[in-house]
Amino acid sequence: MSSSEAIRLTVDGITKFDPVFTKPDEITYTVLESPVLTRLMRLRIGEPSPAKLHPDATTSEFEPCFAADGSAYAFIQSRANLNMKLVIRETATGKDAIFDPGGGFAAVRRPSLHPRGERVVFALPAPTGQEIVSVARDGKDRKTLSAGGINNWPAYSPDGKRIAFCSSRLGDFDLWVMNADGSEARRVVKLDGMQARPAWSPDGSRLAFTWNRDGRYFIHAVKLDGSGLVALTDGLDRADYASWHPDGRSIILVGERSGKSDIYRVATA
Amino acid sequence: MLEIGSFRSMLHGMASRRAFLAASATPLVRGMLPGAPSRPKAKSVILLWLWGAPSHIDTFDPKPGAPAEIRGPFSTIPTRIPGIRFTELFPKTATRSDQFALVRSMVNFDGDHLKAGSIGLTGMLEGKDALVPNFGSVVARHRGSGHLPAFMSIGRGNPRDVVGPMKGYGGGNWGKNHDPFLVGCTEAGETNIPALQLLDGLSPASLDDRRKLLGEIDRLARTGDQATFDKLNSAQRRAYALLTNPEAKAALDLSREKPAVREAYGQTSFGQSCLLARRLAEGGVPYIQVNWSQYVEAVTPNCDFGWDTHIFNFDLLPDRHGPIFDRVFSALLDDLRDRGMLETTLVVAMGEFGRTPRINGQASRDHWPQCYFSIWAGCGVRGGAVIGDSDKTASAPLTEPVTPAMVGATIMEMSGVDAQARAEFRVLPEARVIHELF
């Protein structure tokens, strides 16, 4: 499998977002089920049809993320007019903890669970900008980890010690890394065009991310010191939402080809 | 006479009726002067209604030199027009900027979606008692229907927000017979006609032959369902009549398109809706309104991703709204041009207002009727023209404001509803045509 060869895992062409591996042969993602409803889906790779993760859900859910130890997962739930809450669900019991940003126009997005499920980090709008914030697994002990600018798409490193994210604090959306407590934030690489949605390689040495390069979204990977920048996708109209396979040898992503949105798998070697 | 000074100050609240009329009118309508070159008339108008109001700064009027709290996180890209840049979210549109005109000095007169929407689609403030007709209703009344209705609206339903419907969606005080004929279109390109949903099982998909349809109508009319048939409103009767016409039914069938064409528009409801609009224009429909969404709200239960991005504006735009619009608008221009239809089809894209230049306390942008954009293509519109200019923060026009009334007058003029006809209809009699477009 070469880096330019994208293998399609879904075939319905329906709008999709947020794919992540939940097992080596299983992914969870979000689908636009109807014009007014997004739904979490689970697909065993190689099987023809996905299953609904929450069959009884009646409101839009999206952006699932999972603790590496499988003990918990989190997602965003649309609950009112421009109001989105973070749900942290215990896998074993189904018990939920909620982080509620408040009433009115208030929302959180883009959660990432600590690999052992200790905390959840996410993007939270604030008067100072859009901040990276974390809460404990019970939805409490809120800590703001960034200060100023539009910050988004946080992702815990595999060891839980660092967070990758994107920030406009120096102008446009760039790729950044900081310690999990918010200290020592630094820009990984300076590129022309928006960077978004970083995803850590399983060994913690590289970040895959979306790059709006010359007007087209590609997935690239880069080492943490900014070296080794390489394109992982080509031949797709849009490549976005990268997530690494646990073995580190491939990623899945949402790709658009011929106007259709599907999940693809490409090699990273 | 233009009351520019007082006009601007009043825009922060509700504009006075006098200022509204003054801003929309001019004693010198250059496009209508004797001896002025004749312009091609629009056989069809396709209005892309970007309901919810796109941010003008984050799309087609970026301010890269403004402070961070205004400029936002997106970089800008060059267009084919020297000195004119768009944000990085619209690369395909940028490469086609020599094929359309951009108005950067639009103003509306209310910051409420429903009221601004009515103004945006009628050109007039809502009167105390009167509901004025949509531009499309006026064009349709003037032009009359063929085998397809003269004013068709593509979307999940008439535009509304969670509070209620927008008054200016249709015929207003002219009556429901002048409302648009509503057609739905899914992201897979399946069309549906809400007016037919009165009867279970009766839909375009199920009406595979005319005889079956006629039989069903006949059954309703002559059997125990007489009461049901009698309840059919004009829209429903028009729907039945439409589906008994093979040409009309074919116009609604996107499966007749080549796969490459369907793919170019993309598998989104807006994309396939715009392809349907092109087919309807091809079929001779004088006025087609494509609704980006039924609801203004961006992410709200039971709402359909409108442009009202009070929160997570800088996430929604690069993820969904920007790429979809960029792809679809570009595909529509290409398609119309390739088929030789661009000379006779007027394409207009706009929302009801813009969004706040200063990023709000939720790291996003709120309503801003004081300055926004519209895009115009086809029918002799000067490609590459940028009409008007905004100030350094995109807070207000530096040039003469372009009002919804002027938009309406221009659309109508191009559709053959000239000043005399508008006066007879008592619709926008004093508004001037945006002659700078041509």
Do both B261 and B327 map to the same domain? yes
Q: Rounded to an integer, what distance in angstroms lies between the CA atom of residue A142 and that of residue A144?
A: 7
B328 pLDDT band, cuts 50/70/90, is very high
Do both B382 and B323 map to the same domain? yes
Do both B287 and B175 map to the same domain? yes
Q: Rounded to an integer, what distance in angstroms lies between the CA atom of residue B389 and that of residue B382?
A: 17
pLDDT exceeds cutoff 80 at B49: yes
Do both B202 and B181 map to the same domain? no
Global pTM reads 0.91
Please give, rounded to a whole number of angstroms, the shortest distance from the CA of A239 to a CA of chain B: 11
B256 pLDDT band, cuts 50/70/90, is very high
Tell me the per-residue pLDDT of A197-229, one tens digit each, with 9 for 90 and over: 999 999 999 999 999 999 999 999 999 999 999
Tell me the per-residue pLDDT of B94-120, one tens digit each, with 9 for 90 and over: 999 999 999 999 999 999 999 999 999
How many structural domains is chain B composed of? 2
CB contact under 8 A, B318 and A196: yes
CA distances from B112 to B81, B316, B356, B396, B406 (A): 34, 21, 13, 18, 20
Q: Is B378 left (phi over 0), alpha (psi -120 to 50) or beta?
A: left
Given B208, B235, B251, the domain boundary residue is: B251
Do both B367 and B405 map to the same domain? yes
CA distances from A100 to A87, B319, B392 (A): 9, 24, 38
Listed residue (B254, B118, B112, B121) closest to B183, CA to CA: B254
CB contact under 8 A, A105 and B311: yes
- Ranking A185-199, B125-139, B405-419 by mean pLDDT, the lowest is B125-139
pLDDT value at residue B230: 61
Do both B291 and B398 map to the same domain? yes
Q: Rounded to an integer, what distance in angstroms lies between the CA atom of residue B207 and that of residue A246?
A: 50
Do both B233 and B132 map to the same domain? no
CB contact under 8 A, A36 and B303: yes
pLDDT exceeds cutoff 80 at B146: yes
Please give, rounded to a whole number of angstroms, the shortest distance from the CA of A104 to a CA of chain B: 11
The secondary structure of chain A as a DSSP string is --TT--EES--S---EEEEEEEETTEEEEEEEEETTEEEEEEEETT-S--EESSTT--S-EEEEEE-TTSSEEEEEEEEETTEEEEEEEETTT--EEEE---SSSEE-EEEEE-TTSSEEEEEEEETTEEEEEEEETTS-S-EE---SEEEEEEEE-TTSSEEEEEE-TTSS-EEEEEETTS-S-EEEE--SS-EEEEEE-TTSSEEEEEEEETTEEEEEEEETTS---EE---S-SEEEEEEE-TTSSEEEEEEEETTEEEEEEEE--
pLDDT exceeds cutoff 50 at A1: no
pLDDT exceeds cutoff 80 at A155: yes
Chain A / chain B CB contacts < 8 angstroms: 127
pLDDT value at residue B3: 27
Tell me the per-residue pLDDT of A58-110, one tens digit each, with 9 for 90 and over: 999 999 999 998 999 999 999 998 899 999 999 999 999 999 998 888 999 99
Contact, B383 vs B52, CB < 8 A? no
Q: Which residue has the higher pLDDT, B3 or A216?
A: A216
- Ranking A93-97, B48-52, B123-127 by mean pLDDT, the lowest is B123-127
A106-131: average pLDDT: 96
B8 pLDDT band, cuts 50/70/90, is very low
CB contact under 8 A, A260 and B300: no
Q: How far apart are the first and last CA of chain A?
A: 9
Do both B347 and B392 map to the same domain? yes
With a pLDDT cut of 90, the percent of chain A lying above it is: 92
pLDDT exceeds cutoff 60 at B182: yes
DSSP state of B36: P
DSSP state of B317: I
CA distances from B40 to B55, B61, B225 (A): 32, 29, 49
User: Rounded to 5 degrees, what are φ and ψ at B339?
Assistant: -95, 5
Given B228, B251, B274, the domain boundary residue is: B251
Mean pLDDT of chain A: 95
Contact, A109 vs A18, CB < 8 A? no
Do both B217 and B275 map to the same domain? no
B309-326: average pLDDT: 97
Enumerate residues 6+ apart whose C-beta is below 8 A from B176.
B170, B233, B234, B235
Q: Which residue has the higher pLDDT, B184 or B17?
A: B184
Of A129, A215, A240, the CB nearest to B363: A129
B62-75: average pLDDT: 96
Q: Residue A206: beta bridge partners?
A: A223
Please give, rounded to a whole number of angstroms, the shortest distance from the CA of B435 to a CA of chain A: 33
pLDDT value at residue B41: 87
- Ranking A116-125, B29-38, B141-150 by mean pLDDT, the lowest is B29-38
**Where in chain A are the domains?**
7-267
B53 pLDDT band, cuts 50/70/90, is very high
The encoded tokens of residue A52 equal 């609904």
The encoded tokens of residue B236 equal 């429903």
pLDDT value at residue B377: 98
The encoded tokens of residue A234 equal 């080509």
Q: How crowded is residue B69: how many other Cβ atoms within 10 Å of its Cβ?
A: 12
pLDDT value at residue A125: 96
pLDDT value at residue B17: 55
- Mutant choice from B55, B69, B70, B75 vs A, greatest count of A C-beta within 10 A: B75
pLDDT exceeds cutoff 50 at B31: no
Do both B162 and B292 map to the same domain? yes
The secondary structure of A71-130 as a DSSP string is SEEEEEEEEETTEEEEEEEETTT--EEEE---SSSEE-EEEEE-TTSSEEEEEEEETTEE
Give exposure, B73-105, as e/b (b: 16+ Cβ within 10 Å): bbbbbebebeebbbbbbbbbbbebbebbbbbbb
The encoded tokens of residue B121 equal 């689609």
B82-105: average pLDDT: 98
Q: How crowded is residue A155: how many other Cβ atoms within 10 Å of its Cβ?
A: 25
Q: Which residue has the higher pLDDT, A126 or B5?
A: A126
The encoded tokens of residue B168 equal 């200016």
Of B73, B162, B266, the CB nearest to A81: B162
Tell me the per-residue pLDDT of A228-267, one tens digit each, with 9 for 90 and over: 999 999 989 999 999 999 999 999 999 999 999 999 999 9
What strands, in cross-sheet order, belong to the sheet with A195-200?
Answer: A195-200, A206-213, A216-223, A230-231
pLDDT exceeds cutoff 90 at B348: yes
pLDDT value at residue B253: 93
Contact, B52 vs B353, CB < 8 A? no
Chain B residues in contact with A215 by the CB 8 A cut-off are 77, 88, 91-92, 94
Q: Give the CATH number, domain containing residue B406.
A: 3.40.720
Q: Which residue has the higher pLDDT, A151 or B202?
A: A151
Q: How crowded is residue A217: how many other Cβ atoms within 10 Å of its Cβ?
A: 26
Contact, A103 vs A83, CB < 8 A? yes
Q: Rounded to an integer, what distance in angstroms lies between the CA atom of residue B132 and that of residue B140?
A: 14
pLDDT exceeds cutoff 80 at B231: no
Chain A residues in contact with B187 by the CB 8 A cut-off are 14-15, 32, 35
Q: Rounded to an integer, what distance in angstroms lies between the CA atom of residue B406 and that of residue B395?
A: 20
Do both B131 and B236 map to the same domain? no
The encoded tokens of residue B206 equal 């199920």
Q: Name the residue in chain A with its Cα closest to that of B189.
A: A14
CATH class of the A7-267 domain in this structure:
mainly beta
pLDDT exceeds cutoff 60 at B204: no
pLDDT exceeds cutoff 80 at B241: no
Domain range for B356 is: 4-193+257-437
Mean pLDDT of chain B: 87
With a pLDDT cut of 70, the percent of chain B lying above it is: 80
CA angle B384, B385, B388 (to 5 degrees): 145
Of B75, B267, B315, the CB nearest to A261: B267
pLDDT exceeds cutoff 70 at A150: yes
